[in-house]
Amino acid sequence: MEVQIEKSWKTVLQDEFEKPYFSIIVQTLKQEKAKGVTIYPPGKLIFNAFNKTPFEKVKCVILGQDPYHGEGQAHGLCFSVSDGVKPPPSLVNIFKELQDDLGLPVPHSGNLEKWADHGVLLLNAILTVRAHEPASHSKIGWEQFTDAVIRRISEEKAGIIFLLWGNFARNKKYLIDSDKHFVLEAAHPSPFSANNGFFGCHHFSRANELLKKQNKLPIDWRLE
C-alpha cells in the first residue's frame, strides 16, 4: 500500500503497511468520510509525528493516547495543538512542569513542533478520532500499528528515552527493551492525576542528562 509518510519511516514500516489490519484502518477512515463523518486530525496530518521527526533523528519518545477531538485542536502530534488554539489542561500542566524543571517560560502557543524538530517523537497510540467522540477509533487497528512503531524503535535503535505518562502509556513498557533504552514513568499530566507524580518528575532535565551521558546533544525544550 502506498502511504504518504516520511521516507525513512516508509522504509522501516513498509511491511506494516502491507498487512491486512492496515487495509482495514484505511477502509474504515474512507467509509466514515464518505458518510460525512468529521475525523481529526486532517488526512495530511495523520502521520505528522513521523514527518516531523524522521526515524534516524529520534532521541526521545513521548506517548499519548489519541488525538484531541475538538475542532482545530489535533495536528498529529501528541499533547500538541495548532497555533492559536487554547492549550488543553494536560498541556498546561506539561508547561508548568517544564517551567519548574528547567526554569523555562510558559509558552504562548501549545504547538510542540519545535520538540519534534529536535528529535522528540510525539506519538499518539491511536492516530485518528471522530469529532467530539474521544477514543472513537480505538478499535480500528491503530494500536497494532503504533505498537509496531515502538517495537521497531526498540529493536533498531539504542539509547532512546521513552517518557510514559499515565497508565495507558506505561502499559506499553513491555514493547521496549529496557536493557538498551531508558524508560521514565510518571502520572498523566491531566488535572485529575498530575499531583500524583507528574509534577516534580523532572523528566525534561532527566532526559537531557541521559542524552549527555551518551554524548548526544540534549533536547532544546524551549518553545518560545
Q: pLDDT for 140-163, tens place per residue?
A: 999 999 999 999 999 999 999 999
Separation between Cα atoms, residue 108 and residue 190, nearest integer Å: 19
pLDDT at 197 over 90: yes
Q: Which cell numbers hold the place of 127?
A: 492516530
Separation between Cα atoms, residue 32 and residue 69, nearest integer Å: 15
pLDDT at 129: 98
User: 79-136, pLDDT tens digit by residue?
Assistant: 999 999 999 999 999 999 999 999 999 999 999 999 999 999 999 999 999 999 999 9
Q: pLDDT category, 219, cuts 50, 70, 90? A: very high
pLDDT at 2 over 90: no
pTM above 0.85, yes or no: yes
pLDDT at 135: 96
Separation between Cα atoms, residue 171 and residue 160, nearest integer Å: 18
Catalytic residue (one of 15, 66, 83, 220) = 66
- Our answer to whether residue 117 is catalytic in this structure is no
- Identify whether the C-beta of residue 181 lies closer than 8 Å to the C-beta of residue 77: no
**Four-CA torsion 47, 53, 59, 62, nearest 10 degrees:** -40
- Identify whether the C-beta of residue 92 lies closer than 8 Å to the C-beta of residue 190: no
